[in-house]
Chains A and B, each alone.
Chain A
Amino acid sequence: MAEPHRAGAVERPGWGSLRRAGPLYTGSVTFRDRLLATLRAVQPILEVRGVLVAGSEVPNLLETNAATTLVISQDVDLAIPVAVHEEVKARLGQITRLAPSSDEPSVWVPVPEAAELIEVNFIGLDPGIVEPMETYEKQDDKLPLMVFGPLSLLTAGAIIEIDGLRIPLPQPAGLALEKLVSDRTGEKGDRDLLVVAGLLASMKPADLDRLERAYRGLPVELRHQVRSNLSILSLLEARPGMPDPRPQRPIIDSLTRRLEAG
């Protein structure tokens, strides 16, 4: 019997040595393979203008050649602008390897013949709201959505292409800010903040400028939330398989100073 495949160590500035802690899959199927196969399965949706891959898989995809070394949950989020909801619905018939969950139809799960895929979460993006309090349910028989206020902080960034698969990603600044304004607790909350540490490690000065500009447009309470979460991040311990926040402390210090000013 073949040994479970383990991805090798990946060196990336600021991320430490990341080694997938898991197991993970028999044969030679890595989590990267599963993630990319899942995105290929929803390619018709990814081709809709404005749709973005969101959530914690983005830093995985931003790694060199989408190395996918972070230890996170086995799902991927698709941000669906409410303006293209109907267009996305019209393409759902082209998705054959995933099907709506009986528990929650905005979550699509692999069909039995495609067990190597991971879950896909459809989440609504409404540029008219930003507050978590404004989060609402867009009811729909075919594809209901939770329209999450802070998701509007995402703006279109790079489109990466892997073996012909085009994956639209958000700007790192918006993704970091979205994670910093979101109220999260416990292990999931800490891991989301560590994802921000990884994003900070890869950000260029222009990205930090973009983050600051978007921050200035937030309501005062959310600005406070951003600074509070940055302070939590700066004091977090490193965790296996996640970006190490300690080398990012100088960046967090200077970014916090910028955000505190004015």
Chain B
Amino acid sequence: MTIADRVKAVQARARIRRWEYRQRNLAHGAWGRFRSALVHAREAYAIDEATAAMLLAEGFTSDDRGRGLEPPRGLIWITAARAARLADARPLVLRLDAELLAARNLALVAFS
């Protein structure tokens, strides 16, 4: 690959990046928004609908950054103390693997 080819390749990727930036708040940006929530999570738990509803009723905060995915993912920020009392919740490794993506609702514990 010549330098001219490499320059064209870099510029092409830059154009794609600009296109992606313009879509950051649209459907195409859903994954970026989802990641931008998970980056702040120290722990994640897969929870069912009933548990999600209960946590919201207890006053924990919902985060809509998982809503752009299909099916939408519900994200709820909870405290570490509340996480310790979650019944039947599966702890998940914080990475975009099949197990995490299979969870329709996630309870997240922030680093701080």
Contacts across chains A and B counted by CB atoms under 8 Å: 86
Other-chain contact of B14, A104, A133, A250 (Cβ < 8 Å): A133
Offer 27 A-B interface pairs, CB within 8 angstroms, sorted by A.
A106-B3, A131-B14, A133-B14, A133-B18, A135-B10, A136-B7, A137-B3, A144-B3, A145-B3, A148-B10, A185-B13, A221-B17, A221-B18, A221-B21, A225-B21, A228-B32, A228-B35, A230-B39, A231-B36, A231-B38, A231-B39, A234-B35, A234-B38, A234-B39, A235-B96, A253-B42, A257-B40
For window 15-70 of chain B, which residues contact chain A by CB distance below 8 Å? Answer: 15-18, 21, 24, 32, 35-36, 38-40, 42
User: In the bound complex, do residue B11 and residue A135 qualify as a contact, i.e. CB atoms below 8 Å apart?
Assistant: yes
Q: Kindly list chain A residues whose C-beta atoms are within 8 Å of the C-beta of B1.
A: 104
User: In the bound complex, do residue A133 and residue B15 qualify as a contact, i.e. CB atoms below 8 Å apart?
Assistant: yes
Whether B82 is near chain A, meaning CB under 8 Å from some CB there, is: no
* A224 and B13 alpha carbons, distance in the complex (Å): 15
* A250 and B15 alpha carbons, distance in the complex (Å): 32
For window 54-72 of chain A, which residues contact chain B by CB distance below 8 Å? Answer: none
User: In the bound complex, do residue A252 and residue B39 qualify as a contact, i.e. CB atoms below 8 Å apart?
Assistant: yes
A80 CB to nearest B CB, Å: 13
A69 CB to nearest B CB, Å: 23
Whether A82 is near chain B, meaning CB under 8 Å from some CB there, is: no
